[in-house]
Amino acid sequence: MLLNVGLLALSLVVLTGGAELLVRGAVSVARRLGLSSFFIGLTIVGFGTSTPELSTSLTAAARGSGDLAVGNVVGSNTFNIAVILGITALISPIVIRLEVVRRELLVVLAVGLAPLVAAVSGGRIGRVAGVVMVVLLGVYLWRGYLAGRARASDEDAAAEQELEREFGATAGGWRAHGAVHGAMIAAGLALLVGGSWVLVYSASSIARGLGVSELVIGLTIVAAGTSAPELVTSLVAALRRQSDISVGNILGSNIFNILGILGLTCVISPQQVSRQVLVLDLPVMLVVSAACLPIMFSGSRISRGEGVVLLAGYALYATALFAWAPGWFG
């Protein structure tokens, strides 16, 4: 058991490092190709923090661990809002610009209904549904790009400064060499693949050792671990008082988790969704997402008290998963 716990911790470090290398290399290549800072932020940086979830779910699906694949997506979305936004609000109350987050929040709620396809298709999400989700993600990105270009002049300048500060995208010396950037991308992908394999193996072994389902492990330990890049990004943004980045990072990640990760996973291998996900975990994810509506629209901020409520709600949910769910759905 201790060996598997150590492997799990190591895999999370490897995944985080792989995501960092991949994003840094991809941002640098994108800058060399002349892509706008706004588009880079919308795609590479925004969704790059979700690459641990993507690689883990794809690996789990390929190994036949469907509960881990689906649980990782649903659990990550719940963790992102309840825990990451909760902790971020505790550090610094999050001021919300409604015109920035309104559309993304409504999209998060809408795409969160996608797994309900399983409820009307015998508990299964097939390849066709997966393709539709991936196409919808492409439409969302394209609409976001077009909308952003209309107001991109000032925001792109700010984004340019942020890219330079965070990733050294325009730095000289060895960082400017295309081969180095390519090597960073390749190394990042290798670390993500290797880390995902070790994570799925160790998580499955821990689940067997604890006598709980792979689904519960996927919804909690794996989901929390693969959300580490989002947590770090949001905490850094909170310390810098860049609340829009904190909220945008979470909402963008949740959209990508459902449409991109779950969609691609189902394209590769149709996923059977367990009764527990449909009855407990998916409704919790939707309730947590919907809770953002009154929170964000009450004074346009997430206060420390509301952050405590989000964290307490997640603690209750995690307790239910480990203490009660095995009896309810076992």
- pLDDT tens-digit readout, 214-234: 889 889 988 888 888 778 777
CB contact at 8 A, 10 and 198: yes
pLDDT band at residue 142 using 50, 70 and 90 as cut-offs: confident
Q: Give, in degrees to the nearest 5, the angle at Cα 150 between 145 and 153.
A: 100
- Give the β-pairing of 301-302 and 94-95: antiparallel
Q: Is the pLDDT of residue 40 over 80?
A: no
**Which residues, 6+ apart, have CB-to-CB distance to 18 below 8 Å?**
51, 52, 55, 187, 188, 189, 190, 191, 192, 195
Higher pLDDT, 210 or 285: 285
pLDDT band at residue 206 using 50, 70 and 90 as cut-offs: confident
Beta bridge partners of 95: 301
Q: Which tokens hold the place of 215? A: 């689904």
Instruction: Give the model's pLDDT for residue 172.
Output: 47
CATH number of domain containing 137: 1.20.1420.30
Instruction: Give the model's pLDDT for residue 249.
Output: 72
Report residue 15 CA to chain centroid gap.
13
* pLDDT tens track for 108-140: 899 999 998 888 888 899 999 999 999 999 998
Nearest CA among 240, 252, 187 for reference residue 41: 252
Instruction: Give the model's pLDDT for residue 174.
Output: 44
Q: Is the pLDDT of residue 158 over 60?
A: no
Instruction: Give the model's pLDDT for residue 253.
Output: 85
**Which residues, 6+ apart, have CB-to-CB distance to 260 below 8 Å?**
47, 50, 54, 133, 134, 137
Mean per-residue pLDDT, 129-158: 76
Task: Reduce the DSSP state of residue 261 to 3 states and report it.
Answer: helix
Q: Is the pLDDT of residue 184 over 80?
A: yes
The CA R_g of the chain, rounded to the nearest whole Å, is 19
Identify the burial level of 270 via C-beta atoms within 10 angstroms of its C-beta, where 0-12 means exposed, 13-18 middle and 19 or more buried.
middle
**Which residues, 6+ apart, have CB-to-CB distance to 64 below 8 Å?**
none
Q: Is the pLDDT of residue 7 over 80?
A: yes
Give the number of domains in the chain. 1
Instruction: Give the model's pLDDT for residue 312.
Output: 95
Instruction: Give the model's pLDDT for residue 257.
Output: 92
- Domain of 38 in residue numbering reads as 2-329
Instruction: Give the model's pLDDT for residue 318.
Output: 92
Instruction: Give the model's pLDDT for residue 150.
Output: 59
DSSP secondary-structure letter at 35? -
Q: Which tokens hold the place of 45? A: 């940086």
CB contact at 8 A, 196 and 40: no
Q: Is the pLDDT of residue 173 over 50?
A: no
Instruction: Give the model's pLDDT for residue 164.
Output: 59
